[in-house]
Structure 1
Protein backbone atom coordinates (compact mmCIF):
# COMPACT_ATOMS: atom_id res chain seq x y z
CA UNK A 1 0.00 0.00 0.00
CA UNK A 2 2.86 2.36 0.87
CA UNK A 3 4.52 1.70 -2.50
CA UNK A 4 1.30 2.47 -4.37
CA UNK A 5 0.73 5.67 -2.39
CA UNK A 6 4.26 6.95 -3.08
CA UNK A 7 3.86 6.07 -6.76
CA UNK A 8 0.61 8.04 -7.02
CA UNK A 9 2.21 10.92 -5.11
CA UNK A 10 5.17 11.05 -7.49
CA UNK A 11 2.83 10.85 -10.49
CA UNK A 12 0.88 13.89 -9.24
CA UNK A 13 4.09 15.73 -8.30
CA UNK A 14 5.63 15.11 -11.73
CA UNK A 15 2.46 16.31 -13.43
CA UNK A 16 2.55 19.50 -11.34
CA UNK A 17 6.26 19.96 -12.12
CA UNK A 18 5.61 19.76 -15.85
CA UNK A 19 2.61 22.08 -15.66
CA UNK A 20 3.71 24.85 -13.29
CA UNK A 21 7.48 24.38 -12.96
CA UNK A 22 7.70 22.88 -9.47
CA UNK A 23 6.31 19.94 -7.57
CA UNK A 24 8.56 16.91 -7.88
CA UNK A 25 10.65 17.87 -4.87
CA UNK A 26 8.51 20.41 -3.04
CA UNK A 27 5.30 18.39 -3.22
CA UNK A 28 6.62 14.85 -2.86
CA UNK A 29 9.65 15.16 -0.56
CA UNK A 30 7.87 16.31 2.64
CA UNK A 31 5.34 13.48 2.47
CA UNK A 32 7.99 10.87 1.61
CA UNK A 33 10.03 12.20 4.56
CA UNK A 34 7.14 11.26 6.83
CA UNK A 35 6.80 7.75 5.40
CA UNK A 36 10.23 6.69 4.12
CA UNK A 37 12.93 9.18 5.16
CA UNK A 38 15.57 6.60 4.22
CA UNK A 39 14.71 7.18 0.53
CA UNK A 40 15.71 10.85 0.69
CA UNK A 41 17.39 12.72 -0.83
CA UNK A 42 18.60 9.97 -3.19
CA UNK A 43 15.24 8.96 -4.69
CA UNK A 44 14.16 12.50 -5.61
CA UNK A 45 17.63 13.43 -6.91
CA UNK A 46 17.70 10.43 -9.26
CA UNK A 47 14.15 11.03 -10.49
CA UNK A 48 14.76 14.77 -10.87
CA UNK A 49 17.84 14.05 -12.99
CA UNK A 50 15.78 12.09 -15.51
CA UNK A 51 12.87 14.52 -15.39
CA UNK A 52 15.19 17.47 -16.02
CA UNK A 53 16.74 15.69 -18.99
CA UNK A 54 13.28 15.37 -20.54
CA UNK A 55 12.50 19.03 -19.84
CA UNK A 56 15.84 20.11 -21.31
CA UNK A 57 15.06 18.16 -24.48
CA UNK A 58 11.68 19.90 -24.71
CA UNK A 59 12.92 23.44 -23.97
CA UNK A 60 16.51 23.19 -25.21
CA UNK A 61 16.23 26.33 -27.34
CA UNK A 62 15.51 28.57 -24.34
CA UNK A 63 18.56 28.50 -22.06
CA UNK A 64 20.33 31.43 -20.39
CA UNK A 65 23.85 29.99 -20.53
CA UNK A 66 25.67 32.66 -18.45
CA UNK A 67 23.31 31.91 -15.56
CA UNK A 68 23.98 28.20 -15.99
CA UNK A 69 27.75 28.71 -15.91
CA UNK A 70 27.93 30.94 -12.85
CA UNK A 71 25.34 28.97 -10.90
CA UNK A 72 27.22 25.72 -11.52
CA UNK A 73 30.42 27.32 -10.23
CA UNK A 74 28.53 27.96 -7.00
CA UNK A 75 26.86 24.54 -7.07
CA UNK A 76 30.11 22.68 -6.43
CA UNK A 77 31.02 24.15 -2.99
CA UNK A 78 27.35 24.19 -2.00
CA UNK A 79 27.01 20.51 -2.87
CA UNK A 80 30.20 19.62 -0.99
CA UNK A 81 28.79 21.32 2.13
CA UNK A 82 25.46 19.59 1.57
CA UNK A 83 27.15 16.19 1.33
CA UNK A 84 28.88 16.82 4.64
CA UNK A 85 25.50 17.72 6.19
CA UNK A 86 23.86 14.51 4.93
CA UNK A 87 26.67 12.40 6.39
CA UNK A 88 27.10 14.28 9.67
CA UNK A 89 23.63 15.49 10.65
CA UNK A 90 20.90 13.40 12.32
CA UNK A 91 17.76 12.57 10.34
CA UNK A 92 15.69 15.03 12.39
CA UNK A 93 18.01 17.88 11.40
CA UNK A 94 17.78 16.99 7.72
CA UNK A 95 13.99 16.85 7.97
CA UNK A 96 13.93 20.40 9.35
CA UNK A 97 16.20 21.59 6.52
CA UNK A 98 13.86 19.91 4.02
CA UNK A 99 10.79 21.57 5.50
CA UNK A 100 12.56 24.94 5.53
CA UNK A 101 13.50 24.47 1.86
CA UNK A 102 9.86 23.82 0.94
CA UNK A 103 8.67 26.87 2.87
CA UNK A 104 11.38 28.96 1.18
CA UNK A 105 10.27 27.66 -2.21
CA UNK A 106 6.67 28.53 -1.44
CA UNK A 107 7.59 32.08 -0.46
CA UNK A 108 9.71 32.47 -3.60
CA UNK A 109 6.77 31.33 -5.74
CA UNK A 110 4.48 33.90 -4.11
CA UNK A 111 6.64 37.04 -4.07
CA UNK A 112 7.11 39.22 -7.13
CA UNK A 113 10.58 40.57 -6.30
CA UNK A 114 13.76 39.31 -7.97
CA UNK A 115 17.37 40.35 -7.30
CA UNK A 116 18.29 39.77 -10.95
CA UNK A 117 20.45 37.09 -12.56
CA UNK A 118 23.89 38.70 -12.75
CA UNK A 119 27.11 36.83 -12.07
CA UNK A 120 27.19 37.31 -8.28
CA UNK A 121 23.53 36.47 -7.78
CA UNK A 122 23.81 33.43 -10.05
CA UNK A 123 26.82 32.17 -8.09
CA UNK A 124 25.10 32.68 -4.72
CA UNK A 125 21.89 31.04 -5.98
CA UNK A 126 23.91 28.11 -7.31
CA UNK A 127 25.75 27.66 -4.00
CA UNK A 128 22.61 27.80 -1.87
CA UNK A 129 20.75 25.62 -4.37
CA UNK A 130 23.62 23.13 -4.27
CA UNK A 131 23.39 22.84 -0.50
CA UNK A 132 19.60 22.52 -0.47
CA UNK A 133 19.54 20.24 -3.51
CA UNK A 134 22.08 17.84 -2.02
CA UNK A 135 20.52 17.72 1.45
CA UNK A 136 16.84 17.76 0.46
CA UNK A 137 16.68 17.40 -3.37
CA UNK A 138 14.95 20.82 -3.45
CA UNK A 139 17.54 23.12 -4.99
CA UNK A 140 15.31 25.15 -7.28
CA UNK A 141 13.97 28.05 -5.13
CA UNK A 142 17.15 30.21 -5.06
CA UNK A 143 17.57 29.86 -8.83
CA UNK A 144 13.89 30.46 -9.50
CA UNK A 145 14.09 33.69 -7.48
CA UNK A 146 16.81 35.23 -9.66
CA UNK A 147 15.05 34.15 -12.88
CA UNK A 148 11.68 35.76 -12.25
CA UNK A 149 12.22 38.34 -14.99
CA UNK A 150 12.71 35.62 -17.65
CA UNK A 151 9.98 34.10 -19.79
CA UNK A 152 8.46 30.82 -18.51
CA UNK A 153 10.07 28.88 -21.37
CA UNK A 154 13.53 30.32 -20.60
CA UNK A 155 13.10 29.64 -16.88
CA UNK A 156 12.18 25.99 -17.53
CA UNK A 157 14.99 25.55 -20.05
CA UNK A 158 17.64 27.18 -17.85
CA UNK A 159 16.52 25.40 -14.69
CA UNK A 160 16.48 22.04 -16.46
CA UNK A 161 20.14 22.41 -17.52
CA UNK A 162 21.11 23.53 -14.00
CA UNK A 163 19.22 20.59 -12.51
CA UNK A 164 20.69 17.99 -14.87
CA UNK A 165 24.30 18.99 -14.21
CA UNK A 166 23.70 19.99 -10.59
CA UNK A 167 21.90 16.74 -9.77
CA UNK A 168 24.75 14.78 -11.36
CA UNK A 169 27.22 16.63 -9.09
CA UNK A 170 25.14 15.90 -5.99
CA UNK A 171 24.61 12.26 -6.97
CA UNK A 172 28.36 11.77 -7.53
CA UNK A 173 29.29 13.38 -4.19
CA UNK A 174 26.64 11.48 -2.21
CA UNK A 175 27.68 8.20 -3.85
CA UNK A 176 31.31 8.85 -2.99
CA UNK A 177 30.34 9.59 0.61
CA UNK A 178 28.30 6.39 0.86
CA UNK A 179 25.03 8.29 1.33
CA UNK A 180 23.48 7.13 -1.96
CA UNK A 181 23.10 3.38 -2.24
CA UNK A 182 21.68 0.71 -4.54
CA UNK A 183 18.42 0.95 -2.55
CA UNK A 184 17.88 4.46 -3.90
CA UNK A 185 18.56 3.34 -7.47
CA UNK A 186 16.11 0.44 -7.17
CA UNK A 187 13.46 2.78 -5.78
CA UNK A 188 14.05 5.27 -8.60
CA UNK A 189 13.63 2.53 -11.21
CA UNK A 190 10.46 1.34 -9.46
CA UNK A 191 8.85 4.78 -9.47
CA UNK A 192 10.23 6.03 -12.81
CA UNK A 193 7.11 4.94 -14.79
CA UNK A 194 4.89 7.07 -12.53
CA UNK A 195 7.11 10.12 -13.06
CA UNK A 196 7.25 9.55 -16.83
CA UNK A 197 3.46 9.28 -16.98
CA UNK A 198 3.13 12.49 -14.96
CA UNK A 199 5.50 14.30 -17.31
CA UNK A 200 3.46 13.40 -20.39
CA UNK A 201 0.13 14.12 -18.70
CA UNK A 202 1.37 17.62 -17.82
CA UNK A 203 1.01 18.60 -21.48
CA UNK A 204 -2.71 17.77 -21.31
CA UNK A 205 -3.01 19.57 -17.97
CA UNK A 206 -1.46 22.70 -19.48
CA UNK A 207 -4.14 22.77 -22.17
CA UNK A 208 -7.26 21.90 -20.20
CA UNK A 209 -6.87 22.68 -16.49
CA UNK A 210 -6.48 25.92 -14.55
CA UNK A 211 -2.78 26.24 -13.74
CA UNK A 212 -3.54 28.67 -10.91
CA UNK A 213 -5.64 26.04 -9.15
CA UNK A 214 -2.88 23.46 -9.60
CA UNK A 215 -0.39 25.95 -8.18
CA UNK A 216 -2.54 26.74 -5.12
CA UNK A 217 -3.24 23.07 -4.48
CA UNK A 218 0.45 22.15 -4.73
CA UNK A 219 1.49 25.00 -2.44
CA UNK A 220 -1.13 24.04 0.14
CA UNK A 221 -0.11 20.37 0.20
CA UNK A 222 3.59 21.32 0.33
CA UNK A 223 3.07 23.60 3.32
CA UNK A 224 0.94 21.07 5.20
CA UNK A 225 3.55 18.39 4.57
CA UNK A 226 6.34 20.71 5.75
CA UNK A 227 4.56 21.54 9.00
CA UNK A 228 4.01 17.82 9.63
CA UNK A 229 7.70 17.11 8.95
CA UNK A 230 8.78 19.80 11.43
CA UNK A 231 6.42 18.57 14.14
CA UNK A 232 7.55 14.98 13.60
CA UNK A 233 11.23 15.97 13.73
CA UNK A 234 10.59 17.93 16.92
CA UNK A 235 8.93 14.88 18.49
CA UNK A 236 5.50 16.50 18.75
CA UNK A 237 3.84 13.45 17.18
Structure 2
Protein backbone atom coordinates (compact mmCIF):
# COMPACT_ATOMS: atom_id res chain seq x y z
CA UNK A 1 0.00 0.00 0.00
CA UNK A 2 2.93 2.33 0.54
CA UNK A 3 4.64 1.40 -2.78
CA UNK A 4 7.76 0.48 -0.77
CA UNK A 5 9.42 -2.86 -0.13
CA UNK A 6 10.10 -4.06 3.41
CA UNK A 7 13.80 -3.31 2.92
CA UNK A 8 13.03 0.26 1.84
CA UNK A 9 10.82 0.75 4.91
CA UNK A 10 13.60 -0.51 7.20
CA UNK A 11 16.20 1.72 5.53
CA UNK A 12 13.87 4.72 5.74
CA UNK A 13 13.36 4.16 9.46
CA UNK A 14 17.11 3.93 9.99
CA UNK A 15 17.66 7.19 8.08
CA UNK A 16 14.99 8.91 10.17
CA UNK A 17 16.41 7.44 13.37
CA UNK A 18 19.82 8.97 12.58
CA UNK A 19 18.32 12.29 11.55
CA UNK A 20 16.06 12.54 14.60
CA UNK A 21 18.93 11.70 16.92
CA UNK A 22 21.07 14.38 15.28
CA UNK A 23 18.34 17.00 15.59
CA UNK A 24 17.70 16.05 19.19
CA UNK A 25 21.36 16.76 19.94
CA UNK A 26 22.13 19.76 17.72
CA UNK A 27 18.73 21.45 17.26
CA UNK A 28 18.54 20.68 13.54
CA UNK A 29 19.63 17.98 11.15
CA UNK A 30 16.76 15.59 10.42
CA UNK A 31 16.25 17.22 7.03
CA UNK A 32 19.91 17.70 6.17
CA UNK A 33 20.78 14.09 6.95
CA UNK A 34 17.56 12.15 6.33
CA UNK A 35 16.07 13.92 3.29
CA UNK A 36 18.90 13.06 0.87
CA UNK A 37 19.02 9.48 2.13
CA UNK A 38 15.25 9.09 1.85
CA UNK A 39 15.34 10.49 -1.67
CA UNK A 40 17.91 7.86 -2.64
CA UNK A 41 15.79 5.11 -1.03
CA UNK A 42 12.68 6.35 -2.87
CA UNK A 43 11.72 9.86 -4.04
CA UNK A 44 8.17 9.35 -2.74
CA UNK A 45 9.50 9.62 0.83
CA UNK A 46 10.09 13.38 0.42
CA UNK A 47 8.96 15.97 1.14
CA UNK A 48 5.56 15.26 2.75
CA UNK A 49 6.27 12.05 4.77
CA UNK A 50 9.47 13.56 6.16
CA UNK A 51 7.78 16.84 7.06
CA UNK A 52 5.02 14.95 8.89
CA UNK A 53 7.71 13.11 10.83
CA UNK A 54 9.44 16.42 11.55
CA UNK A 55 6.24 17.72 13.17
CA UNK A 56 6.27 14.83 15.65
CA UNK A 57 9.96 15.38 16.37
CA UNK A 58 9.67 19.14 16.88
CA UNK A 59 6.72 18.75 19.26
CA UNK A 60 8.80 16.37 21.36
CA UNK A 61 11.77 18.76 21.27
CA UNK A 62 9.72 21.82 22.22
CA UNK A 63 8.39 19.93 25.24
CA UNK A 64 11.88 18.74 26.22
CA UNK A 65 13.53 22.20 25.84
CA UNK A 66 10.60 24.45 26.79
CA UNK A 67 12.51 26.01 29.69
CA UNK A 68 14.99 27.69 27.31
CA UNK A 69 12.42 28.94 24.79
CA UNK A 70 12.48 32.68 23.96
CA UNK A 71 9.43 33.16 21.77
CA UNK A 72 10.08 36.87 21.10
CA UNK A 73 13.16 35.97 19.06
CA UNK A 74 11.31 33.30 17.08
CA UNK A 75 8.38 35.47 15.95
CA UNK A 76 10.40 37.31 13.29
CA UNK A 77 11.53 34.05 11.68
CA UNK A 78 7.93 32.79 11.74
CA UNK A 79 6.82 35.97 9.97
CA UNK A 80 9.37 35.34 7.23
CA UNK A 81 8.12 31.78 7.05
CA UNK A 82 4.73 32.95 5.79
CA UNK A 83 6.37 34.47 2.69
CA UNK A 84 8.53 31.38 2.18
CA UNK A 85 5.47 29.12 2.35
CA UNK A 86 3.56 31.09 -0.30
CA UNK A 87 6.56 31.05 -2.62
CA UNK A 88 7.11 27.32 -2.10
CA UNK A 89 3.44 26.54 -2.74
CA UNK A 90 3.60 28.46 -6.02
CA UNK A 91 6.76 26.60 -7.02
CA UNK A 92 5.20 23.19 -6.34
CA UNK A 93 2.11 24.05 -8.37
CA UNK A 94 4.20 25.14 -11.35
CA UNK A 95 6.83 22.38 -11.53
CA UNK A 96 6.31 18.89 -12.94
CA UNK A 97 7.39 15.69 -11.12
CA UNK A 98 10.52 15.64 -13.28
CA UNK A 99 11.13 19.29 -12.51
CA UNK A 100 10.77 18.50 -8.80
CA UNK A 101 13.91 16.32 -8.90
CA UNK A 102 15.83 19.18 -10.49
CA UNK A 103 14.63 21.75 -7.94
CA UNK A 104 15.20 19.28 -5.09
CA UNK A 105 18.81 18.74 -6.15
CA UNK A 106 19.51 22.44 -6.54
CA UNK A 107 18.06 23.35 -3.14
CA UNK A 108 19.90 20.51 -1.38
CA UNK A 109 23.20 21.76 -2.82
CA UNK A 110 22.33 25.33 -1.80
CA UNK A 111 21.73 24.06 1.74
CA UNK A 112 25.14 22.40 1.75
CA UNK A 113 26.81 25.56 0.45
CA UNK A 114 25.13 27.65 3.15
CA UNK A 115 26.41 25.25 5.79
CA UNK A 116 30.04 25.44 4.63
CA UNK A 117 30.16 29.09 3.49
CA UNK A 118 31.38 30.41 6.83
CA UNK A 119 28.69 33.10 6.98
CA UNK A 120 28.08 34.42 10.49
CA UNK A 121 25.01 36.72 10.37
CA UNK A 122 23.92 38.27 13.66
CA UNK A 123 20.72 37.22 15.38
CA UNK A 124 18.44 40.21 14.72
CA UNK A 125 14.96 40.88 13.36
CA UNK A 126 15.94 41.41 9.71
CA UNK A 127 18.13 38.34 9.49
CA UNK A 128 15.51 36.28 11.32
CA UNK A 129 12.87 37.24 8.74
CA UNK A 130 15.17 36.42 5.82
CA UNK A 131 16.31 33.14 7.38
CA UNK A 132 12.73 32.19 8.19
CA UNK A 133 11.60 32.80 4.61
CA UNK A 134 14.52 30.86 3.10
CA UNK A 135 14.20 28.03 5.61
CA UNK A 136 10.47 27.54 5.06
CA UNK A 137 10.80 27.72 1.28
CA UNK A 138 13.54 25.08 1.24
CA UNK A 139 11.84 23.02 3.94
CA UNK A 140 8.53 22.84 2.10
CA UNK A 141 10.08 21.60 -1.14
CA UNK A 142 12.91 19.42 0.17
CA UNK A 143 12.27 19.03 3.94
CA UNK A 144 15.77 20.53 4.40
CA UNK A 145 15.05 23.85 6.09
CA UNK A 146 17.78 23.77 8.72
CA UNK A 147 20.77 25.53 7.10
CA UNK A 148 19.33 29.07 6.71
CA UNK A 149 17.90 29.29 10.23
CA UNK A 150 20.93 27.53 11.72
CA UNK A 151 23.19 30.29 10.39
CA UNK A 152 21.69 32.90 12.72
CA UNK A 153 21.79 30.59 15.75
CA UNK A 154 25.31 29.21 15.28
CA UNK A 155 26.79 31.36 18.06
CA UNK A 156 24.05 30.69 20.61
CA UNK A 157 24.06 28.16 23.44
CA UNK A 158 22.77 24.61 23.01
CA UNK A 159 19.50 24.74 25.01
CA UNK A 160 18.45 28.04 23.41
CA UNK A 161 19.25 26.71 19.93
CA UNK A 162 17.29 23.50 20.46
CA UNK A 163 14.30 25.31 21.98
CA UNK A 164 13.99 28.26 19.57
CA UNK A 165 14.76 26.31 16.41
CA UNK A 166 12.29 23.61 17.44
CA UNK A 167 9.57 26.22 17.97
CA UNK A 168 10.29 27.72 14.55
CA UNK A 169 10.40 24.34 12.81
CA UNK A 170 7.10 23.35 14.42
CA UNK A 171 5.25 26.39 13.06
CA UNK A 172 7.11 26.22 9.73
CA UNK A 173 6.17 22.54 9.37
CA UNK A 174 2.48 23.37 9.65
CA UNK A 175 2.97 26.11 7.04
CA UNK A 176 4.67 23.56 4.80
CA UNK A 177 1.92 20.98 5.30
CA UNK A 178 -0.70 23.55 4.23
CA UNK A 179 1.31 24.33 1.09
CA UNK A 180 1.77 20.62 0.28
CA UNK A 181 -1.94 19.90 0.67
CA UNK A 182 -2.88 22.88 -1.49
CA UNK A 183 -0.42 21.87 -4.22
CA UNK A 184 -1.42 18.18 -4.24
CA UNK A 185 1.80 16.81 -2.72
CA UNK A 186 0.18 15.41 0.45
CA UNK A 187 -2.48 12.72 0.20
CA UNK A 188 -3.35 9.23 1.42
CA UNK A 189 -0.12 7.66 0.14
CA UNK A 190 2.01 10.19 2.01
CA UNK A 191 0.04 9.58 5.22
CA UNK A 192 0.65 5.83 4.86
CA UNK A 193 4.36 6.44 4.31
CA UNK A 194 4.44 8.58 7.45
CA UNK A 195 2.70 5.83 9.43
CA UNK A 196 5.34 3.22 8.57
CA UNK A 197 8.33 5.50 9.13
CA UNK A 198 7.61 7.47 12.30
CA UNK A 199 8.90 4.70 14.63
CA UNK A 200 12.42 5.62 13.49
CA UNK A 201 11.87 9.21 14.62
CA UNK A 202 10.61 8.14 18.05
CA UNK A 203 13.61 5.88 18.62
CA UNK A 204 16.01 8.55 17.37
CA UNK A 205 14.55 11.17 19.69
CA UNK A 206 14.81 8.81 22.67
CA UNK A 207 18.42 8.03 21.75
CA UNK A 208 19.28 11.75 21.48
CA UNK A 209 18.36 12.17 25.13
CA UNK A 210 21.11 9.72 26.01
CA UNK A 211 23.67 11.36 23.71
CA UNK A 212 22.86 15.07 23.97
CA UNK A 213 26.04 15.88 25.91
CA UNK A 214 28.24 13.21 24.33
CA UNK A 215 27.72 13.35 20.57
CA UNK A 216 30.45 15.35 18.71
CA UNK A 217 28.21 17.20 16.23
CA UNK A 218 31.07 19.28 14.81
CA UNK A 219 32.97 16.13 13.97
CA UNK A 220 29.98 14.58 12.23
CA UNK A 221 29.07 17.69 10.24
CA UNK A 222 31.44 17.04 7.28
CA UNK A 223 30.05 13.52 6.90
CA UNK A 224 26.46 14.76 7.01
CA UNK A 225 27.13 17.48 4.45
CA UNK A 226 28.99 15.02 2.25
CA UNK A 227 25.98 12.69 2.20
CA UNK A 228 23.69 15.62 1.41
CA UNK A 229 25.97 16.84 -1.38
CA UNK A 230 26.13 13.41 -3.07
CA UNK A 231 22.36 12.95 -2.89
CA UNK A 232 21.72 16.51 -4.07
CA UNK A 233 24.03 16.01 -7.04
CA UNK A 234 22.33 12.70 -7.85
CA UNK A 235 18.90 14.34 -7.81
CA UNK A 236 20.19 17.19 -9.97
CA UNK A 237 21.64 14.77 -12.53
CA UNK A 238 18.42 12.72 -12.59
CA UNK A 239 16.41 15.88 -13.09
CA UNK A 240 18.64 17.06 -15.96
CA UNK A 241 18.54 13.66 -17.65
CA UNK A 242 14.73 13.58 -17.53
CA UNK A 243 14.34 16.95 -19.26
Partner residue in 2 for 1:231: 237
- Gaps of at least 5 residues in structure 2 are 1-6
Per-residue deviation, residues 68-100 of structure 1 (Å, max 9, x unmatched):
111111111210110121122123433333333
Map residues 15-164 of structure 1 onto 2, 5 A cutoff.
Answer: 15-164=21-170
Does the 8 Å CA contact 1:30/1:226 hold for their aligned counterparts?
yes
Is 1:8 matched with 2:18?
Answer: no
Q: 1:92 to 1:83 in 2, by over 3 A?
A: same
Structure 1: tracts of 5 or more residues without a match: none
Report the Cα distance in structure 2 between the residues aligned to 1:166 and 1:210, rounded to whole angstroms: 27
Given the superposition, is the C-alpha separation of residues 110 and 168 from structure 1 closer, same or farther in structure 2, using an over 3 Å criterion? Answer: same
Task: Please say which of residues 50-59 and 89-98 is displaced more in the overlay.
Answer: 89-98
Q: Is the contact between residue 35 and residue 50 of structure 2 (CA under 8 Å) also seen in structure 1?
A: yes
- After superposition, the Cα gap between the structure-2 partners of 1:159 and 1:8, relative to the gap in structure 1 and judged at 3 Å, is same
The 8 Å contact of residues 92 and 183 in structure 2, kept in 1 or not, is answered as: no
**SS of alignment partner, residue 162 of structure 2:** helix
Alignment map for 1:201-216 (pairs within 5 Å): 201-216=207-222
Cα distance in 1, alignment partners of residues 10 and 172 from structure 2: 29
The separation in 1 between residues aligned to 2:117 and 2:27, in whole angstroms, is 15
Please state whether the residue corresponding to 2:141 is helix, strand or coil: helix
TM, length-normalised to structure 2: 0.87
Q: Is the 8 A contact 1:114 1:147 kept in 2?
A: no
Moved more, 54-63 or 35-44: 35-44
Give the 5 Å matches for 1:192-203.
192-203=198-209
Give the alignment's Cα RMSD to 1 decimal.
2.1
TM-score if structure 1 supplies the norm length?
0.89
1 CA distance for matches of 2:240 and 2:130? 30
1:51 is displaced (CA, Å) by 0.5
- SS of the residue aligned with 1:46? helix
